[in-house]
Amino acid sequence: MKMENFNFLLKDEKFDNLYIVNHPLMKHLLTHLRDKNTKPALFRTITKKITTLLSIFASYELSLQKSIRETPLESFEGYIINEQIVAIPILRAGLGMIDPICDLFPEVSVGYVGIQRDHETAIPHEYYYKLPDIKNKVVFLLDPMLATGGSASYAINLIKSEKPKKIIMLAIVSAPEGVSLINKNHPEVQIFTASLDRELNFKKYILPGLGDMGDRLYGTI
């Protein structure tokens, strides 16, 4: 079965690489995450739950291999995931998405990419970059807010230089502008998101969005 046939995954007709998780629980959680009255502790908890849902759907096409094991009564033929997985959050907000990945995939390796833009030139550059060996591995790139897409695209370029098998991006909310940039620059990268929001405002914040993700995660508003 292809992902397009999965009842809770929506494909946007404008973007070939975008998958929107259209699940009742996701809508419920996202409503509370957007709410300006949600406090940081609950905000972090909801972020983890949304990331868990995104991860489940994003891992739908991971390859499996058969594995013969024993129950207390007899042997059986089961399956295990036949992929090596690396999670890479874009700092700092991406850190809020790490724990669910580690819980779902206990043998996951973790790398980190920190990117900031020059205030005068608007050119992104990394201020922190540390990855494990990702060659021929499946990378989950974690960026909770895909706004302009500039930082994510820059991070993907860095990651692609290390020759991973596949890059899958998890974004809690996405703007059309950011999805369009990733679709243009990296059409092979699948994006799994809880929502394709309306647009960016003049300050490049996603509308309706949920405000500044990092500030709301860590109570620095």
Q: With contact defined as beta carbons under 8 Å apart, do 197 and 25 qualify?
A: no
Cα 149 from Cα 140, distance rounded (Å):
16
Q: In the structure encoding, which two tokens stand for residue 215, read together?
A: 């500030």
Q: What is the DSSP letter of 3?
A: G
Active-site choice (34, 45, 92, 215): 215
Instruction: Spot the catalytic one: 121, 193, 198, 216.
Output: 121
Residue 51 annotated as catalytic: no
16 is catalytic: no
CB half-sphere exposure, 112, CA atoms < 13 A: 10
**Catalytic site residue from 16, 198, 212, 220:** 212
Known catalytic membership, residue 215: yes
Residue 212 is a catalytic residue: yes
Q: Which of 117, 193, 198, 220 is catalytic?
A: 117
**Residue 70: exposed, middle, or buried by beta-carbon count in 10 A (0-12, 13-18, 19+)?**
exposed
Catalytic positions: 117, 121, 212, 215
